[in-house]
Amino acid sequence: MTEVMAVRYRAVMLTKKGGPDVLKVVELPVEDPGPGKLRVQVRAAGVGATDLIMLEGNYPFAPKIPFVPGYEVVGIVDAVGTGVSGFELGQRVAALTVYGGFAEYLVRESEHFVPVPDGASDTDVAAVILNFVTAWQMIHRVARVQPGQTALVTGAAGGVGIAALQLLRLAGVKSYGSASERKHPTVQSLGATPIDYRKGPLDRLLRTLEPEGVDYVFDAVGGSNIGPCISALRRGGTLVGFGFVGARGILSKLLMFANIFIGARLRGRRGKFYGITALYRKDPKPFREDLSKIFALLGEKKIDTFVSCTFAILEAKQAIELLASGSVEGKIVLTAN
């Protein structure tokens, strides 16, 4: 165990329900890692749609307010608790933290950390933890796509959408990406055909290009978007819902789940819902396996993290304000630099 290097550290705290203004910079005492835990000096943290949902106080995997948000981090092992093996001081690690990442230091059980290989920057590593593992698991563990198949991705210029289009291309799947017209160049750069959802019903627009429908739809939007997504599928096709930025309130979520599982079946399709955190809490092993695969793709330069912009870690409020504007393509990352 190393000695504590500082008495206190700074973090961004979610103080109450509300907009980005409820995020406040606070000072907290530096903790020694208990048995089985690591203390990590945070080098970078990702910002995503889930952080916006947490502001509402309804995210099921978040602790009670007040707490420090921050879903994914990369950092340096700063102290090692008793009984921990496989990690050493100064080692670079990554984790799906769910909360706690918007801070200078983080203490968490060692089982949550994955060693980071040399070569990739802290910013790129932070950008792939949530988005690319989410996309990988939807594509390969849930949908189990095959080369030559077809897919539609909604929210295609968002963080997970951009990851999904890249991984679908690597898997040999012909893809379509739903996005506003100004984001079409991004979708095209990833080898997908863009569809402007503002120009009409999504299923009709898609079927002008694929008259029989696609094999898979990966839907990040939810809400009224589910019906057209089901209609965009061929008979026997599969809708995979995730994220659901359009879901607000328990009743809304229940209706969407009913549409996915029952509505799709009634129309001769299959409906599934995927959540990275639910799977991770059930069994963290697939996440560790899949993150290592993503690191390999990153090292081979087969994927692009599409980091849109960076902020300092203590500027999480400004980063989330930008994310909420809807103008961001790709990923926002907070850094310690």
SS3 helix, strand, coil % of the chain, rounded to 5?
35, 30, 35
Helix count and strand count (H, E) for the chain = 12, 15
Model pTM score: 0.91
Burial of 86 (0-12, 13-18, 19+ CB in 10 A): exposed
Helices (H), the chain: 49-55, 122-128, 131-136, 159-170, 184-189, 202-207, 226-231, 250-258, 264-266, 276-282, 285-299, 316-324
Exposure of 192 in the CB half-sphere (CA atoms within 13 A): 35
> Looking at the DSSP assignment, which residues form a beta bridge with residue 195?
178
Q: Judge contact between 209 and 194, C-beta under 8 A.
A: no
Residue ranges in the chain whose pLDDT is less than 50: 1-4, 246
Q: Judge contact between 75 and 93, C-beta under 8 A.
A: yes
pLDDT of residue 278: 85
Q: What CATH fold (topology level) applies to the domain 8-130+284-335?
A: Quinone Oxidoreductase; Chain A, domain 1 (3.90.180)
pLDDT of residue 254: 62
Of 294, 320, 301, residue with least CA distance to 94: 294
**Hey, where are the domains in the chain?**
8-130+284-335, 147-274
Distances in Å between the Cα of 213 and the Cα atoms of 82, 151, 256, 268 are: 56, 9, 21, 13
Instruction: Confirm whether 8-130+284-335 and 147-274 share one CATH topology.
Output: no
pLDDT of residue 40: 98
H or E element: which one contains 23?
strand 23-29
Give dist(CA 273, CA 323) in Å, integer. 24
pLDDT of residue 256: 66
pLDDT of residue 249: 55
pLDDT of residue 257: 67
CATH number of 147-274: 3.40.50.720
pLDDT of residue 328: 84
- 207 phi, psi to nearest 5 deg: -75, -10
Which residues, at least 6 apart from 325, have a Cβ–Cβ distance to it below 8 Å?
none
Q: Judge contact between 160 and 243, C-beta under 8 A.
A: yes
